[in-house]
Amino acid sequence: MKKIWLVRHGQSQSQSAEDNDVVNPELSELGRQQARRLVKPLQNFELDLILISPLRRAWQTYQLSGIQNSRCEFDSRLIESDWGIAGWYEDILPVPIPDLAEPDQHNAWLEPVEKRATKLMDDLLKIPNENMLLFGHWGIFNHIFAEFAGIDLTKNSVKAPMDNTAISLLELDDDQNHIIRYWNDRAHVADILQ
């Protein structure tokens, strides 16, 4: 059975109104605390692959989660939604990233979120890896949810929100059934969500 774990980043400084940067803000202090709370729920994961959005709040969440894996990559298909605004990320390119993982090979910064979600899910469902963990953002995860569930967001308005550092699990069984095992598990941070 293929398992795709999704972890949303911790609270950003944009969310806490500490920073006006809505495109690539850092984690707030509360966001750092939330990310450290991921250590326990992620500690026993046996993973084949970790993919990380190259936006700061996502890789900072990964870094503070304490999870390690021999195969870890930045993937620009996981950046936050562009909210339908062409060129949303142009002003911050190129984005400096730390030496935490293999560099991004997709250069999907200027692709629409729908296209990124489709390509990413196609690849994840094809590759032989069984257990994958993605660190990203609510907007892209909403599109991944829709893609996985076969929902056309141009025809149906569906929202699958995730709280900061929430964990979700998508599974593909041996009969190719798409299973949403759980969505938006936030038990580890329920007392510190805002």
Supply the CATH number for residue 119's domain: 3.40.50.1240
Question: How many domains, the chain?
Answer: 1
**What number of CA atoms fall less than 13 Å from residue 126's CA on the CB side?**
6
Query: Does residue 133 sit within a domain?
Result: yes
Query: Does residue 76 sit within a domain?
Result: yes
Q: For the residues 113-132, what does the mean pLDDT come to?
A: 95
Query: Does residue 194 sit within a domain?
Result: no
Query: Does residue 141 sit within a domain?
Result: yes
* Pairwise CA distance, residues 192 & 32, whole Å: 11
Query: Does residue 69 sit within a domain?
Result: yes
pLDDT digit string (tens) for 51-105? Answer: 999 999 999 999 999 998 889 999 999 999 988 888 889 988 899 899 999 999 9
- Classify 150 as helix, strand or coil: coil
- With vertex at residue 102, the alpha carbon angle to CA 97 and CA 107, rounded to the nearest 5 degrees, is 70
Between 82 and 111, the more confident residue is: 111
Query: Does residue 70 sit within a domain?
Result: yes
Query: Does residue 150 sit within a domain?
Result: yes
Report the pLDDT value the prediction gives residue 174, as an integer from 0 to 100. 93
User: pTM for the complete prediction?
Assistant: 0.96
**Residues contacting 44, CB < 8 A, separation 6+:** none
Report the pLDDT value the prediction gives residue 22, as an integer from 0 to 100. 83
Query: Does residue 82 sit within a domain?
Result: yes
Q: What does residue 138 show for φ and ψ, rounded to 5 degrees?
A: -60, -45
Q: What does residue 124 show for φ and ψ, rounded to 5 degrees?
A: -65, -35
Domain of 138, in residue numbers: 8-159
